[in-house]
Structure 1
Amino acid sequence: MPTKLVDVEVATTARRGVPPVVLVGTGPALGPGGDDLDTADLTGKAGEAVRHRSSGTWTLGVGTGSLSDYRTAGAALVRALSGDDAPKTADVLLTADFDADGVRAFVLGAALGGYRFKVTGEDAPARVGSLRLVTPDQGFEEVLTSAALKAHALATATALTRDLANTPSNVKDPRWLATTAARLAEKVPGLSAVVRDEKWLAQQGFGGVLAVGGGSARPPRLLELTYDSGQGPHLVFVGKGITFDTGGISVKPADGMHLMRTDMAGGAAVISALLAVARRGLPIRVTGLVPCAENHISGSAYRPGDVVRHYGGATTEVQNTDAEGRMVLADAMAYAVRDLKPDLLVDVATLTGAMKVSLGLRTGGLFTPDATLARAVADAGERVGERWWRMPLLEEHVEAVDSEIADYRQCPPGPGGITAALFLQKFAGDVRWAHLDIAGPARSEKVYEEVVAGATGFGARTLVELAETFSR
């Protein structure tokens, strides 16, 4: 860890003895190097990778040239250049209209499309190790190189998020997740990490984290990552770090429970984003908080009907122990508001099954009362290939968060994704805040564009791009 990705470079000349890749648009319309190729069976559909054995040339469909098509094409190429006869490298002959956005999309697809996570004693199948993007415009090489480097940095963040989320939970407990992130942070200049144990959490009053983690023999942790360039606003990203979720006493159905190893995908996105921000040296301050816990069943597990006191003193009436994510996020958000005093607070979590019903499995839910911030998050996601949809914080459900025996109740009646966000809003104080629910797109059972089955890494790229937006 982290998984090695395909390397990509930009140049103005192709190499001798290296397989060329000719791009084909719908029509089909062939790009440079395709004059002598037979187009009879080519459609130009995005991702259509064909090897022409007589010449050793590959053709690659790029569709209509949309960013989605370019991501699909890059991913499909790397998947095609795999197997027993996989070349070590290949030259992709770009068309003259390939701009920086197109390169970013293509490189994202190429870097991530060949991602593989499998615990096995067998050797991994051979895969192309690098690609050269050959541009016909010599004056544009530097711009495209910059775009490729940024895309590869974003892909690296996505891949690490996948690695962390895919790791089986017999390995990945709260301690493992926090200390692994801390070890990775030690290697990045300007990034520091502190891991707090259950004794510190008890002394400081992190009742939500302690309640959720109380049923496991493997105690909770709080990870705090800090990057401070000495300039710019202060952003705090909070990620749900539930390393396995049985649902607790409100136990989940057995079907699908094995997927709960990825229930810390929000925390993984925060960890990966902090590493990427620090590596890129952005002129900004960013803190990452990941409350890590296992939600298990035992005699010490928290119960429906319990009243839990969060960091800072607010209390919550527990109604369903399977709504554990909001319990740990509430502590971390209260700590951020009270002690870190950020200019912007963003939490990200696989929080509610309701968002899968509302938005499906490829779109993240975006909650914020700030229209400008909502636009900034959505635009950041669009630039990096992650789709968000703003959801309402309905005023008619605000009072439902109030409890008769505590300050708040954990699972108010009403639309589940919205009421969960309204609960979290209570802990955001007066800070600009956005809640990102990634329960749908954090996992996939299908291959599409740059996504493979398993953890997708969704959210990490948006956080990095958002940090860059606020650093300008």
Structure 2
Amino acid sequence: MRTPVPTVPTPLVDVEVATAPRRSASPPVVLASTGPVFGPGGDALDTAWTERGEFTGEAGETTEVPDGSGTRVLGTGAGRPADWRRAGAALTRVLAELSEKRSQRVTADVLLPDDVDAAQVRALVLGLLLGGYRFRVTARDAPALPGTVRLVVSDLGYAEVLAAEAARAAEAAAATALARDLANTPSNVKDPQWLAATAAKLADRVPGLSATVRDEKWLASRGFGGVLAVGGGSERPPRFLELVWKPAQPRPESPHVVLVGKGITFDTGGISIKPADGMHLMRTDMAGGGAVISAVLTVARRALPVRVTALVPIAENHVSGSAYRPGDVVRHHGGTTTEVTNTDAEGRMVLADALAYAVGDLAPDVLVDVATLTGAMKVSLGLRTGGLFATSDDLAERITSAGEHVGEAWWRMPLLDEHADAVRSDVADVRQCPPGPGGVTAALFLREFTAGLPWAHLDIAGPARATEDYDEVVEGATGFAARTLVTLVETYTR
């Protein structure tokens, strides 16, 4: 019997590092930087064909050498990590096409230059694993994955170093892929209970990681008015997910990091209903929650010596007779009241409850929330850069550096205090959608629930979804922020 969605998590290509090619593998893949300047194996090629400009070595450029040997050349451009990610993604897509065409798993041995560095190998592996990611719900069997890709380097000692880097990159890719899986899952399957239960099931497989799922009765008893208001219009009630990683030997100087992810499993906009065009994409409106879930699973699998708690308030924002309304006043966990002015600004309503719970119940040292929160960030930064708001320069620098390390771009936005008064309400403590720059005022609203703690708000409304394939990103949910969060936590272990 077919399952309603593909297996979660989606299988990815296997990558290994060795000092010699396989005898049974396909002809090798020879790398070339811009020029082209060929790496190992290039001296055996008849390169006269390159003089015709058919191959330049630009990043991601790939072609079969026209000598009948079957050897493939792959461009790595200027050699930046982004170039190597693009190259890996291009290669794995070619291998996937060949595997489907031949109805068998096509393997590849990639001949690495002796001067390849760890950052380049990490980027190449990320591209190889994520570039071929596909999430499809069809009547056909899923196409076979390509066979194992072997990265060949001549020095045994260095091969061991690179193998460790490749394994680390594979963990990061798996975190991204799982975040994509959760966001891509259609909302007729992915209701709040499914998302919470799926995350809890995955957490149960990781030693030392605990999961607790709270239902609507618990939410009511604890005063989570924001989550209940947003979820009140749906027949499928809200949930609150808490994942706790407590390392056996935490570093005494490491903080307790609390990650909060928006978990709106579908967003109609509520009574302030969205236009029909594009509404189908709202199955990915819990991309922030998916990134947080994936990140803490990876942190726990790696047994990082930092205490981390992940909170995901989960709800569907639907239209019905029980939906919340503009003009309502909602009381959040902890007592703060919010005047509702737009029911399509539901993300900040559920995040406010979770932030207040973190502050009041968990004693965090660092707070980070992640959400597809505002269209304003898409206008400001486009579709490939996340918006970063932070109350701490140190935290902002850690997040930016973590993103650079894993190939996710962040741009720090200002928390403009001249707009802080706009968050105040005449009938409640705060106003949900104050006038002013939308991304900034949304962040200022959330800041009201952080009690002055070091806090960062990551608005991923732009990069959480892709309308086309590029680099290691594929159309659909991107899994953006998951890798950054893992690396952020890792910085507190150094």
TM-score (norm 2): 0.94
1:282 has 2:304 as partner: yes
Consecutive aligned runs of 4 or more in structure 1 exceeding 3 Å deviation: none
1:218 has 2:218 as partner: no
Q: 1:84 aligns with which of 81, 101, 110?
A: 101
Tell me, yes or no, if the aligned pair for 1:78 and 1:127 is still in contact at 8 Å.
Answer: no
* Counterpart Cα distance in 2 of 1:324 and 1:38: 61
Post-superposition CA distance 1:79-133 (Å, at most 9, x none)? 0012323643211100112111111000000000000001001122233121111
Task: After TM superposition, give the deviation of residue 371 of structure 1 in Å.
Answer: 1.1
Post-superposition CA distance 1:128-158 (Å, at most 9, x none)? 1211111123221221111101100000000
Report SS of the residue matched to 1:110.
helix
Number of the residue aligned with 2:87: 73
1:167 has 2:182 as partner: no
Task: After TM superposition, give the deviation of residue 393 of structure 1 in Å.
Answer: 0.4
Post-superposition CA distance 1:187-222 (Å, at most 9, x none)? 111111000000000000000000000000000000
The residue type equivalent to 1:136 in the other structure is S
Number of the residue aligned with 2:484: 462
Which deviates further from its counterpart, 13-22 or 271-280? 13-22
Number of the residue aligned with 1:406: 428
Q: 1:10 aligns with which of 5, 8, 17?
A: 17
* Counterpart Cα distance in 2 of 1:446 and 1:430: 40
Tell me, yes or no, if the aligned pair for 1:84 and 1:126 is still in contact at 8 Å.
Answer: no
Report SS of the residue matched to 1:236.
strand
* Counterpart Cα distance in 1 of 2:277 and 2:404: 34
Report SS of the residue matched to 2:150.
strand
Tell me, yes or no, if the aligned pair for 1:237 and 1:347 is still in contact at 8 Å.
Answer: yes
Task: After TM superposition, give the deviation of residue 432 of structure 1 in Å.
Answer: 0.8
User: Over aligned residue pairs, what C-alpha RMSD do you find?
Assistant: 1.0
Tell me, yes or no, if the aligned pair for 2:88 and 2:127 is still in contact at 8 Å.
Answer: yes
Task: After TM superposition, give the deviation of residue 471 of structure 1 in Å.
Answer: 2.1
Tell me, yes or no, if the aligned pair for 1:238 and 1:333 is still in contact at 8 Å.
Answer: yes
What percentage of aligned pairs have identical amino acids? 70
Task: After TM superposition, give the deviation of residue 14 of structure 1 in Å.
Answer: 1.2
The within-5 A match list for 1:29-44 is 29-39=37-47, 40=50, 41-44=54-57
Number of the residue aligned with 1:23: 31
Which deviates further from its counterpart, 235-244 or 427-436? 427-436
Report SS of the residue matched to 2:167.
helix
1:387 has 2:400 as partner: no
Number of the residue aligned with 1:148: 166
Q: Which runs of 5+ in 2 are unaligned?
A: 1-7
1:52 has 2:61 as partner: no
Number of the residue aligned with 1:126: 144
Q: Which runs of 5+ in 1 are unaligned?
A: none
Which deviates further from its counterpart, 137-146 or 295-304? 137-146
The residue type equivalent to 1:406 in the other structure is A
Post-superposition CA distance 1:402-431 (Å, at most 9, x none)? 001100000010000000000000001121
Post-superposition CA distance 1:251-306 (Å, at most 9, x none)? 00000000000000000000000110010010110000000000000000000000
Post-superposition CA distance 1:376-415 (Å, at most 9, x none)? 1000000000000000000110000000110000001000
1:265 has 2:265 as partner: no
Number of the residue aligned with 1:204: 222
Post-superposition CA distance 1:39-72 (Å, at most 9, x none)? 3221101111212361121111111111110000
TM-score (norm 1): 0.99
1:309 has 2:337 as partner: no
* Counterpart Cα distance in 2 of 1:138 and 1:283: 30
* Counterpart Cα distance in 2 of 1:267 and 1:335: 16
Tell me, yes or no, if the aligned pair for 2:374 and 2:439 is still in contact at 8 Å.
Answer: yes
The within-5 A match list for 1:316-331 is 316-331=338-353
Task: After TM superposition, give the deviation of residue 35 of structure 1 in Å.
Answer: 1.6
* Counterpart Cα distance in 2 of 1:223 and 1:126: 34
The within-5 A match list for 1:413-428 is 413-428=435-450
Report SS of the residue matched to 2:325.
coil
* Counterpart Cα distance in 2 of 1:64 and 1:124: 35
Q: 2:194 aligns with which of 176, 179, 183?
A: 176
Number of the residue aligned with 1:360: 382
The residue type equivalent to 2:109 in the other structure is D
* Counterpart Cα distance in 1 of 2:197 and 2:301: 19
* Counterpart Cα distance in 2 of 1:87 and 1:25: 28
**Aligned pairs, number:** 472
Tell me, yes or no, if the aligned pair for 1:362 and 1:441 is still in contact at 8 Å.
Answer: yes
Tell me, yes or no, if the aligned pair for 2:291 and 2:482 is still in contact at 8 Å.
Answer: yes
Report SS of the residue matched to 2:145.
coil
Task: After TM superposition, give the deviation of residue 24 of structure 1 in Å.
Answer: 1.0
Post-superposition CA distance 1:311-331 (Å, at most 9, x none)? 000000000000000000000
Q: 1:346 aligns with which of 348, 351, 368?
A: 368
Tell me, yes or no, if the aligned pair for 2:12 and 2:145 is still in contact at 8 Å.
Answer: no
1:63 has 2:77 as partner: yes
* Counterpart Cα distance in 2 of 1:321 and 1:66: 44
* Counterpart Cα distance in 2 of 1:79 and 1:291: 36
Which deviates further from its counterpart, 294-303 or 141-150? 141-150
The residue type equivalent to 1:141 in the other structure is A
Report SS of the residue matched to 1:398.
helix
* Counterpart Cα distance in 2 of 1:163 and 1:254: 24
* Counterpart Cα distance in 1 of 2:148 and 2:479: 22
Q: 1:103 aligns with which of 117, 121, 126?
A: 121
Report SS of the residue matched to 1:80.
helix
Post-superposition CA distance 1:146-190 (Å, at most 9, x none)? 110110000000000000000000000000000010001001111
1:248 has 2:267 as partner: no
Number of the residue aligned with 1:437: 459
Task: After TM superposition, give the deviation of residue 351 of structure 1 in Å.
Answer: 0.1
Number of the residue aligned with 2:314: 292
Tell me, yes or no, if the aligned pair for 1:84 and 1:125 is still in contact at 8 Å.
Answer: no
